[in-house]
């Protein structure tokens, strides 16, 4: 494992966490934002992949199908998440989506045989309690919001599907090649959904186009690409726990950029999330020491 994997992952998660703050600059439908961020990211990454794109021609029919499925799952994840936020409260959506580490851990154990260690389970528990502490004051079980709540759960399942398929493919493709193709497939699916719903694809203000570009550069090219890079070396369940730090990082930027208040319960949630990450980092340190001793 390259030594900079966790540093790259940390930078990527910090970048991914800022999608909400960047979205505030855009005056456009969430579908348009999702479609444009993916297509722009794919177009910008293609030159970086360069001649290595020929690796796509060497994929078997099965792996090509998996790549398409991963792209569709990523696009569906974005769409279902957007729809969830539109049909329920942000707190409900965040809390129901936060079950993702549980789903990913179980799926990774069944599919890849990843160990469910006590430290991993403890980290997941701390992270979940942290997310609940942040959103509990705004959480509500209202029948009118049930559709949005279920969509948030669906979004979490789709994220796991996209992640696990990516873990299988990352062993066969260079990361730049994989994410270029992945975002291209997802972007095409996003534009298909955009046109199907009649949402305009153009005619936006310069500030909104800037937001599209920033969404492609920051949370997509740096954020999701770093997570996909780490998939080759780090368990999918552990990466999904690290993503629980996104509310903390987004909240800190929102505090300084938008003067959003930080309540005591939010502070408690941030501390619990930090503790969950520390537990995981400590686990990797212990494993490293045991490997050296062995």
* pLDDT attached to residue 283: 65
Structural domain for 76, as ranges:
5-293
Q: For the chain, how many residues are written?
A: 294
Kindly report which listed range (62-66, 153-157, 240-244) carries the lowest average pLDDT score.
240-244
pTM given for the model? 0.81
| Whole-angstrom distance, CA of residue 84 vs CA of residue 241 | 21
CA distances from 146 to 26, 92, 143, 164 (A): 28, 10, 5, 27
Looking at per-residue pLDDT, the higher value among 18 and 216 belongs to 216
| Whole-angstrom distance, CA of residue 134 vs CA of residue 55 | 44
What mean pLDDT comes out for the span 35-60?
92
Number of compact structural domains in the chain: 1
Q: Each residue of 183-233: pLDDT tens digit?
A: 999 999 999 988 998 999 999 999 999 999 999 999 899 999 999 999 888
Answer for the pair 232, 52: CB distance below 8 angstroms, yes or no.
no
First to last CA, the chain: 17
Q: Say yes or no to pLDDT of 250 above 80.
A: no
Burial annotation 226-235 (CB, 10 A radius, 16+ → b, else e): bbbbbbbebb
Residues contacting residue 136 through CB under 8 Å, at least 6 positions apart: 91, 95, 265
* pLDDT attached to residue 88: 73
């Amino acid at each position: 494992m390259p030594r900079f994997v966790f540093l790259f992952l940390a930078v990527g998660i910090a970048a991914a966490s800022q999608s909400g703050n960047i979205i505030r600059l855009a005056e456009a439908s969430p579908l348009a934002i999702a479609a444009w961020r993916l297509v722009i990211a794919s177009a910008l990454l293609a030159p970086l992949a360069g001649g290595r794109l020929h690796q796509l021609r060497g994929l078997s029919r099965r792996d090509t199908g998996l790549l398409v499925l991963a792209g569709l799952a990523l696009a569906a994840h974005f769409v279902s998440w957007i729809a969830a936020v539109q049909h329920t409260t942000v707190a409900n959506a965040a809390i129901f989506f936060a079950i993702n580490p549980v789903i990913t851990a179980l799926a990774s154990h069944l599919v890849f045989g990843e160990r469910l260690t006590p430290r991993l389970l403890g980290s997941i528990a701390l992270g979940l309690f942290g997310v609940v502490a942040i959103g509990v004051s705004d959480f509500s079980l209202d029948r009118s919001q049930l559709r949005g709540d279920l969509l948030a759960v669906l979004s979490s399942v789709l994220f796991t599907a996209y992640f696990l398929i990516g873990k299988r493919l990352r062993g066969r493709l260079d990361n730049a090649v994989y994410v270029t193709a992945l975002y291209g497939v997802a972007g095409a699916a996003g534009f298909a959904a955009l046109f199907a719903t009649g949402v305009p694809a153009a005619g936006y203000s310069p500030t909104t186009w800037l937001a599209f570009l920033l969404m492609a550069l920051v949370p997509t090219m740096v954020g999701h690409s770093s997570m996909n890079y780490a998939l080759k070396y780090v368990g999918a369940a552990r990466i999904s726990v690290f993503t629980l730090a996104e509310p903390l990082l987004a909240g800190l930027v929102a505090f300084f950029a938008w003067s959003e208040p930080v309540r005591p319960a939010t502070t408690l949630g941030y501390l619990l999330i930090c503790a969950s990450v520390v537990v995981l980092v400590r686990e990797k340190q212990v494993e490293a020491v045991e490997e050296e001793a062995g």
